[in-house]
Chains A and B, each alone.
Chain A
Amino acid sequence: MSDSDARRDWETLLRHAVEGSLRGEDEERLAAHLRRDPELIREYVYHVNLEAMLSSELYVEESPEMSALADTLSPASATEPATRHSKRRLATMTTFVAAAILLLTIVLWSPWRGANRQPAGPEPSRLIASLVDTEDATWPDGNVPSYGDRFRQGETVALESGTARLAFDNGVAMTLQGPCRLELSSPRKIALHAGNIHARIPESADPIEVVTPSTNIVGNLRQVGLVVDAAGETDVHVFDGVADVRSTREPGQTRLTAQQAGRFPRDFAVDARFAAASNVFGDLPTLEQIAAVRKGTLVTRPGKLDESTDALAETDARVAAPPKLIADDFDYQVGDFDGSHGGEGFGDHAWRADVPFAEVVAPGLTLPGETAGQTAVALHGRDPAYPSIANRIVRKLPTVGDDDLYISFLARYDGLDRDDFFSFWLDDAATMDSSHSRAPNVGIRFGWIFARLHHGHEVVQERAQDGATYWFVAALRRSRDGEPDRLELWMNPRPGDRQPADVEVIRREDAKGVPKSTFLGFRMGQHTEPHDRLLIDRLRIGPTFESVTSSTDSSEQGQPGKP
């Protein structure tokens, strides 16, 4: 390698080393250069130190809470001149150190670095927001963050589909709808590269600036919705406050006030003004969620569901052969449901439930002409005190093989309104964070009976009636290569009389694979109310339509029981 080539190679490596983007194989070359010439060590350290100095000199600290902490800890005898600039820097660095010391006693985060949370460069990486809730969220490569996970300044949140809600430590509430790429530059500045966000900024928080491919948005923003499309065009909807929308390239500014919206292409000629439309955006996190994050008391659940499901998954070997029929009539003692293990064909696996929100109630549901079940399981709607819980019950399935799978159950929703949701699902994950959006679901969505193989491709059958008992019969069908590729749904069929399905959902060619049916469960949706009640009864899973729809009496089942 000539001297000029070596120098060019060195500078490239130096540049990437400073930016924190050096690849593994380049590390060796960087080390070789440094060993070869001690002068390069000096140059290297100069550059790295400059990067750290620039970060500390130019970085702007915004959180009022942390600034207050910095004020408390800043010594009066600081040797720096008391200029605004140096005070800011001192406050910033004091905060940084104070935060580090606080970490001695407070566990603030678990380092989780999935593809949907791309670590940024070597800028300061304070933790600034929490994930409080999701709905039907899918993340790149299936990396699923947990409720309560913390996001660092500089991270990019990439949401593939569905909804995710964030609560910032400074009180900002934000809802993302996928596909969305949002860079959390700081508590006061975010960069929306693509997608749809809805944000509420409390008066107690400092003003927020939003950068998009075509605009810088500042002003007294209080509630705003933004959509950045694939072309980089930005729609700005102002619901409260004032937005001054500036071009990132050209001089000029457009002011939007409450209930106004505008469209801003990349060349910045405002080509449309229209009324702000709230129905374009997802609901914001609740005030309870924001308050909980600010106090550091975000409660994700009072129950014990997610601790138990992993243990359940390990006990599959106890079921020697796939049973012909798996059934549960929920004939349990009235009261707590969690841990119930009756029914047929489930082996040793018991039901797990979000304890306060699932119970056994009497009487059960019944089909016309059949003996009424004694009891059923009831799920309650979501409690605002625990907004991140998709109230659910879950049970491990024994291995069911690669044949078609038929499912049947009775369901009645009391208190149904237009935004309520419940579903039965089959999935390979059963943690509280899963919304089962990649898995087969049937149930009621926005007041309609629906079936889907993947979120975003629901097929509806009819509008559901409040308080009506429905008999859901579904079939998860497989292609010749054994992959599930079709979901069929019959509503209130005649027992044993198989007719063409009312709903048929075909897996899209570009959709990801359907997960294995390791767990089954029911869950309630985000907008259900605490007084809502979903009753489930007469669950059957079998290899044929007839096996799950033939009349059976509960006395044929194994002995119900509770541990």
Chain B
Amino acid sequence: MHETNHSERGDERYLAQLVSAQPALRGIVHAIVRRPSDVDDIVQETNMVLWRKREEYDPERPFKAWACRIAHLQALAFLKKERGKAKVPFEDDLVGAIADEAVAQAEQAERRTKALRDCIEKLSGHHRDLLNHRYSRGISVSGIAELMGRSADAISMSLYRIRKSLLECIEHRLATGENT
């Protein structure tokens, strides 16, 4: 175990890393489990495990990758319990492949996040409104549909297209080095 000085300042630094890893943790858990309520619970449990394990963390290692591995284990433990109750189509090898990909992407998280901010700015007003309804206000897809007098499927499709264009924009910015 790496020797660290776990002063209050050390805890603060650890917490800062834990905070910045939240989207990556949520991403990996969501990719494995998908049901939102389960994702919430597993991410919360992962945070607690990570907090308890703060003395085991080696600062020489990338924090996000380490945290994502623990989230992966938490999600696996959840799936193991679920398999006792019902069929879970994602076998461990598939979950492992997803986790590997998620860890790899987590290492780019800072750059991707910066790119995302710029890409959001480039969206049309209507698309930004849709994103705000969904992510700022936290309104469900069906709730947005009701508000806008459209079908839930139409809203879902619009959001999907916006996300897809954001991903393309992010990839473009990373490829051309616009965010570096």
- The interface bits of chain B over 20-33 (1 if a CB of A lies within 8 angstroms of the residue's CB, else 0) are 10111011101100
On chain B, the residues within 8 Å of A309 by CB distance are none
Contact present for A19 and B141 (CB under 8 Å): yes
On chain B, the residues within 8 Å of A191 by CB distance are 137, 139, 143, 147
A156 to B157 CA separation, bound complex (whole angstroms): 22
Contact present for A46 and B36 (CB under 8 Å): no
On chain B, the residues within 8 Å of A77 by CB distance are 9, 12-13, 16
- The answer, yes or no, to whether A54 is at the interface (CB within 8 Å) is yes
- The answer, yes or no, to whether B151 is at the interface (CB within 8 Å) is no
A14 to B39 CA separation, bound complex (whole angstroms): 17
Contact present for A49 and B23 (CB under 8 Å): yes
A124 to B39 CA separation, bound complex (whole angstroms): 10
Measured CB to CB, the closest approach of chain A to B117, in angstroms, equals: 7
Contact present for A52 and B37 (CB under 8 Å): no
On chain A, the residues within 8 Å of B120 by CB distance are 57-58
Q: Choose among A21, A54, A60, A79 the residue that contacts B141 (Cβ–Cβ < 8 A).
A: A21
Measured CB to CB, the closest approach of chain A to B110, in angstroms, equals: 9
Interface residues of A in 99-124 (CB under 8 A from B): 100-101, 103-104, 111, 113, 118-124
Contact present for A213 and B146 (CB under 8 Å): yes
A118 to B152 CA separation, bound complex (whole angstroms): 16
Contact present for A47 and B163 (CB under 8 Å): yes
Measured CB to CB, the closest approach of chain B to A238, in angstroms, equals: 22
Measured CB to CB, the closest approach of chain A to B87, in angstroms, equals: 9
On chain A, the residues within 8 Å of B48 by CB distance are 100-101, 103-104
- The interface bits of chain A over 26-67 (1 if a CB of B lies within 8 angstroms of the residue's CB, else 0) are 011011001100100110111111111111111110000000
- The interface bits of chain A over 68-85 (1 if a CB of B lies within 8 angstroms of the residue's CB, else 0) are 000001111111100001
A42 to B24 CA separation, bound complex (whole angstroms): 14
On chain B, the residues within 8 Å of A44 by CB distance are 31, 98
Contact present for B98 and A45 (CB under 8 Å): yes
- The answer, yes or no, to whether B81 is at the interface (CB within 8 Å) is no
Measured CB to CB, the closest approach of chain B to A197, in angstroms, equals: 16
On chain A, the residues within 8 Å of B34 by CB distance are 17, 20, 22, 27
Contact present for B131 and A49 (CB under 8 Å): no
Q: Which 3 A-B residue pairs are closest in the complex by CB-CB distance? A: A49-B27, A75-B12, A58-B135
> Would you give 25 A-B contacts (Cβ < 8 Å), ordered by A?
A15-B160, A27-B34, A27-B89, A30-B89, A44-B98, A45-B101, A48-B27, A49-B27, A50-B163, A54-B116, A57-B116, A58-B131, A59-B135, A75-B16, A80-B20, A94-B19, A97-B15, A111-B37, A121-B134, A123-B134, A124-B40, A125-B36, A156-B140, A156-B143, A211-B139
